[in-house]
Each structure stands twice: as structure tokens, then as C-alpha cells.
A and B are shown apart, each in its own frame.
Chain A
């Protein structure tokens, strides 16, 4: 952890008394966690704050803490028991962060941001609006993302029709939704599929007729932070990129993983789990990528491209 600048430390010091006032007897370790610093930093913050107060700076006019068995209390708050309002940058930061996951919790975040906005002073609100126009972390999401997010939070069963490109077919699924994850431009739902009785990843833009079930389910053990499976790796799939997109391939896969041929084309070797995904991916280069192997999938690429024209 880098040492805080003077300004950062001052900002942290101004929320020290409020945090302890709100949670009297808070453990030093919890206080450090709440303030995002180390235990030693909290202890030195407490020492410094005890020198802060009002003239003539007699003991009764200084901030006073009591620390007993690592539990912290405020004895004298000297009017500092509430934190200062949000700055424009703080409000902008919160709004931008909320935008990252907004589609999955639009109802809750919408009301939270509304309340935060009311807590801003008028001039800060104007500044924050101006900053919001130049910082935008809004993510697109399918229309059901909010409903799915609600199901995750309320632990309610979900039913939806799901299109699996691997099977090329749509099936109705009933699942216990566990977590929504945004990755590589898509929203994925991790859920226990009740038909298969195992955990699966579902891409939200492939689900429709999403319905909240009436049944809730108990919380499971804490989930490890898994991500949807990446299609990448090293393996037997060989793709050659034309000169036009060779530089892109080098950027994407790293120069060490790419073989550049004398004609300027670039070749990579990959491990890809899903054949359907591989066909779509190669096609997305519009003729600038060629699947060299495996031969069985190679045939499907030309077939799919031409079949789309019928």
C-alpha cells in the first residue's frame, strides 16, 4: 500500500471521528478496514486527531478517543462527529462505479443515486453533473438484467428459454441464480441448473422469457470468485490472420505467441473449447482470418457463411 498524500490523509482523518461515533467500540482492525488503511495508520491517525480541537487548545477542547482492548470509543468529538459532504469528484466516482453494474441492480442503484444526489450541495451538484458528461462507465445489458439481478439478491428461482449455440437449440431452464458477472462485453449468470443439477454459466443475451419464480432457496456456501470460462489457451486450433489484421493479433495474443510469416500474415495456436464459438469467431473477421486446423471445423466455416446467404 502506497503512503497516503497529505490531502488523502486529511480526508481520511475527517471521517475518523464520524466512523467511531457511529460504531462505538469498533475493533481497531475493523476500523482500519472501514478506513481502507493499516492498523498502524489508524493508531497514528488517532494520535494526531487527539491534538486537533478548538482554541485555546486545552485538553477539554481537544478531540479525545479511548482505546480499550483494541476497541475504540470517542470521548470528545469537538463537533466533528459527522463527515463533510461529498465533493464533486467523490459524487462522480460513486456514480461512475454504480454505472459499471447498474443494469444488474438498476432499481436499487437508481434510488441510492437519487438519495446521494439530494445530499449534494447545489454547487457541488452542478460540478458533478459537468464531470458526469465527461466520464461515462455505462454498460449495455439485455433488458432482463435487472430482473435477474433481483433474483440473485432475493435468492429466487428463475425460469427462462436459453439458446445454446453448441446444441443449436432453445430449452426452458429452471435455475437457482447465484451471481451475475460482466466480462468481455457480456453479462453472464452463474446458476445452479435444476435440470442438470450442476452449476452452469448462462450468457444473458441468449435468454428470453425470463420469469421470476415464487420459490426462494437458502444461501449456499460462499462462492469462490470464478469467472466464465475463457475460450483461450494454447492447443491444437491454428488460425492465420491476414496482413491486414496481423498487428491486431499480435496485440491481442502477445508477440511471443504469434508467428509472423514472410507475407506479413500472423499465425496463432489456440485451445478452444467450443466449436460453435470458434466458427463464429473466425467468421467475425470477414475473411481476414483462416482456420488452418482442425479440418472438421474448417469445413463448417465456409458452410455457415454461405448458408447465411440463402
Chain B
């Protein structure tokens, strides 16, 4: 019997059992499979058991009135009928297909297995019917191989193993070697970011996965964690959805004035903003919490002349400064 055949056969065998099965009985009923000294045989069975657990087979050792041994609870093993509608299956499939085809998804293998199980009711719903596509900018910038790096980072994160990598940041002249403990992975606006505790800086730092090269996961003691992640850590708290959301300074409430066509589109132009007043000439004033004022100012400049910062004074002055700097770069009379 080969190893796969033996491991798979343990499943129907234990599902069939009416009471916990002691190891001695397993040895007897799988003749030739767990031979040799007791200790070696048990170690072999432990390895098979570990493989089954990794497959999601909830095999466990129990002591009951019927005796002690290994048990595989049918109700815990079998996937119950999930009861997805054809539309739910189609949209879930579309989501999975988009994630897989993006070429950059950290749990691609697990996703594939999950989709097989979702597809198991056999509706045969074709992907694409949901009418939604997701296009990630894979490898567009930075030169790193995002699709190859992500699974390694996820593996390190799930097992709490430190990673070393080379980081190519446009803010620094040379490629740097970093060592870090991965705490979280997040995708925002098509870009994957690793939030990790950086050993050099002794602080949490964000790294664009596309800028990471030569990622090495600590291979020492693979079954024991190198670090802990605090229970209250949420990766969402460390990555921004919008340019003004990067956490570069203390939260600041900024008043923004929108005009023309943008005053009616304020909620969409500045997600998270709160309407203050409708001013003269169809202008609207909104309040927005920001933690990166320059990010907001640049975003508003891209909407010029239909947006500007009007308060508080320091923030309005920074916006004016950047607007004047932009104008000064483009003096009348042509480029030099």
C-alpha cells in the first residue's frame, strides 16, 4: 500500500468505526503498514495523522466509556449542505476566479480547494456570469514577483516565522536587506502591502510587496512560532484606503471646499467626509479626518480648480503652498 493510499483509507475506515479505535487495532487491520518497533510504528501513524489534520480531517484521540482510541466524527468531517443559491455560487466563483487570475493571491492553493468544495453541489455556474472583474496591477512597479512572494509571505505569517528580504524603495538610494516579523497582508487599490515588525527599526512598518525581492522564510524550527501577533491587531488599522489615510501624523479634521460639478459628488470624491454647509455659488464645505495632509492636498490639486482646503489655517496654508509650487513650475512663456 502506498502512503497516499494508506492515508486516504484511514478516512473511510475511521468514519465507519462505531467506537474509538485503539492504535493496536489500526495496526492489525492495516497489515504491513505500521510494522516494526512500537515507537517507530506510532511515529509513522502520527505523521499520517498530521497529514490528515492538515487536510481538514478532524481526527482525534479520545477516552470514552467505550474505550480509548482514535475517532473521526462524521458530523465534524462531512461538509454540510451549505445551501448556496445558483446566484451566490456564481458570484463566489467569480470572486475566486478573479483572485486566482490576478496572479497575486496569497492563498491561491487553499482558494482552489475551497472553490472545488463550493462547486461540489454541481450547479456548474460559469465564472464571468456575475459581471464583475478585478484587475490587480501585478508586477507593474517595483520589479518584484508579487505572485511568487505572496504565498511565501502568507506561509510565514500563518506559521509566525520571520522573513528576510531585499527592499527596493524609491525613497532610498540603495536596495536594503531587512528582517521582519509579518503581522498582516492587505490589498488596497490593487496593491498588496505587508505590515510587519521591522527588526532594524524595532517598529511596525508597511512594505509594498511588489518592492520585495529575494524573500526568505526562517527555516529554523518550522513548527514553532518565532513571534506572537497581539490579539487586538487588525491589519486594516495600518493600511490606507485613500491617499489621506496613511498614518503619518496625528488625526486632523480638515475642511474642504468643493465646487462646480464636484459639490454634488462630495461623498464619492471624499469618502468618509461629513457635509458642513452648502455655501455660495453652489460650493459645498465638508469635514474630513486625515492622517496625511499632503496626501489630501495632492488629491485635491488633481481635482483643481474644483477643490481646495479652507481650514484649519495651517492646512489651508499647506494647500496654498503646494498650489503655488505647482503654478511656479509652469510659468507663462513656456518650458525652459
**Which A residues contact B (CB, under 8 angstroms)?**
6-15, 18-19, 22-23, 34-36, 48-49, 51-57, 78-80, 82-87, 89-94, 96-98, 100-102, 104-105, 108-109, 111-112, 115-116, 118-119, 121, 124, 131, 133-140, 142-143, 149, 152-153, 161, 163, 168-170, 177-185, 204-208, 225, 227, 245, 247-248, 250-252, 279-287, 289-293, 295, 298-299, 301-310
Contact = CB atoms under 8 A, between A and B. Distances in A.
Contacts of B137: 183-184
Contacts of A153: 87, 91, 129-131
Given A105-B91, A136-B184, A307-B304, A205 B269 contact: yes
B235 A108 contact: no
A7 B298 contact: no
A252 to B, nearest CB: 5
A252 B328 CA distance: 25
B69 interface: no
Contact of A85 (B56, B99, B190, B306): B56
B138 to A, nearest CB: 12
Nearest to B168: A251
Interface stretch (B34-42, B77-85, B198-206): B77-85
Contact of B78 (A84, A101, A207): A84
B225 to A, nearest CB: 13
Interface stretch (B11-19, B246-254, B284-292): B11-19
Contacts of A118: 82
Nearest 3 Cβ contacts at the A-B interface: A287-B325, A185-B189, A307-B305
Nearest to A167: B261
A115 B83 contact: yes
B304 A308 contact: yes
Contacts of A92: 107, 110
B79 A179 contact: no
B116 interface: yes
Contacts of B105: 93, 96-97
B184 A133 contact: yes
Contact of B322 (A116, A133, A287, A295): A287
A286 B268 contact: no
26 contacts: A51-B5, A52-B12, A78-B12, A83-B78, A84-B57, A84-B78, A89-B107, A92-B107, A94-B95, A101-B95, A105-B132, A109-B88, A109-B95, A112-B88, A115-B88, A135-B235, A139-B189, A142-B271, A149-B132, A161-B264, A181-B133, A280-B302, A284-B299, A284-B301, A284-B302, A302-B330
B323 A10 contact: no
Contacts of A22: 120-122
B299 to A, nearest CB: 7
Interface string B105-135: 1111111111111111110100001111111
B303 interface: yes
B91 A133 contact: no
B219 to A, nearest CB: 17
A308 B96 CA distance: 44
B111 A18 contact: no
The bracket for how many chain B residues form the interface is: 35 or more
B259 to A, nearest CB: 9
B141 A97 contact: no
Given A11-B113, A112-B92, A121-B58, A286 B298 contact: yes
Given A82-B79, A206-B265, 17 more contacts: A79-B12, A83-B120, A86-B56, A101-B95, A105-B130, A109-B95, A118-B82, A134-B157, A136-B234, A168-B260, A170-B261, A184-B189, A251-B211, A280-B303, A301-B327, A301-B330, A302-B329
B323 A305 contact: yes
Interface in B56-95: 56-58, 76-80, 82-84, 87-89, 91-92, 94-95
Interface in B177-225: 183-190, 211
Contact of B116 (A34, A137, A139, A298): A34
B147 interface: no
B327 A302 contact: yes
A82 B114 contact: no
B166 interface: no
A308 B301 contact: yes
Contacts of A208: 264-265, 268
